Amino acid sequence: MKQASELNDRKPSLLTSTISGDVNGIATILGSDLTTTASTQSLAWLAGSLWLGRPLKSARLEKALDLTLRLLVDHGPYVSGAVNTIITARAGKDLVSSLVSGLLTIGPRFGGAINGAASVWFHSVEAGTSPVDVVEDYAKRKAYIPGIGHRKYSVTLPDPRVEILTKVVEDIAHPYLDFARQVSSQTTAKKPNLILNVDGCIAAVLLDLLSEEEHLGSAEISGLLETEFFNAVFVLSRSVGFIAHYLDQKRLGEPLFRLPENEVLTVSSPPLV
Ligand code: ACO
Ligand code: LMR
CATH code of 187's domain: 1.10.230.10
Domain count, the chain: 1
| Cα of 197 from ligand 1 centre, angstroms | 10
How many A from CA of 12 to the centre of ligand 2?
47
- Domain residues for the domain of 133 are 116-232
| Orientation of helix 114-127 relative to helix 131-140, angle to 10° | 120
193 near 150, Cβ under 8 Å?
yes
Task: Note the pTM of the prediction, 2 decimals.
Answer: 0.94
Atom 3 of ligand 2, nearest CA residue: 75
Each residue of 187-239: pLDDT tens digit?
999 999 999 999 999 999 999 999 999 999 999 999 999 999 999 999 999 99
213 domain-assigned: yes
Does residue 215 sit within a domain? yes
253, part of any domain: no
**Looking at the domain assignment, is residue 62 inside a domain?**
no
pLDDT at 268: 85
Q: Which of 117, 115, 119 is nearest to 51 (CA)?
A: 115
Q: How far is the CA of 240 from the centre of ligand 2 (A)?
A: 15
Does residue 255 form part of some domain?
no
CA distance 103 to 84: 9
Distance from residue 37's CA to the centre of ligand 1 (Å): 42
Around 119, how many Cα atoms within 13 Å sit in the side-chain half-sphere?
16
Nearest listed ligand to the Cα of residue 116: 1
Mutation to probe ligand 1, out of 109, 144, 184, 235 (largest number of atoms < 8 A from CB) = 144
Q: Which phi and psi angles does 245 have, rounded to 5°?
A: -65, -40
Dihedral of alpha carbons 126, 189, 197, 110, sign = negative
Confidence band, pLDDT 50/70/90 cuts, at residue 272: confident
Pocket probe mutation, ligand 2, options 72, 85, 86, 110, max atoms within 8 Å of Cβ: 110
The pLDDT of residue 6 is above 60: no
Measured from the CA of 198, which atom of ligand 2 is nearest?
5
| Region 43-67 average pLDDT | 98
Cβ 101 vs Cβ 246: under 8 Å: no
Q: Is 149 close to ligand 1, i.e. is its CB under 6 Å away?
A: yes
Q: What is the mean pLDDT of residues 30-35?
A: 96
179 within domain boundaries:
yes
**186 found inside a domain:** yes
Separation of alpha carbons 173 and 259, rounded Å: 50
C-beta atoms surrounding 248 within 10 Å: 15
Tell me what the pLDDT averaged over the chain comes to.
95
Q: Is residue 172 part of a domain?
A: yes
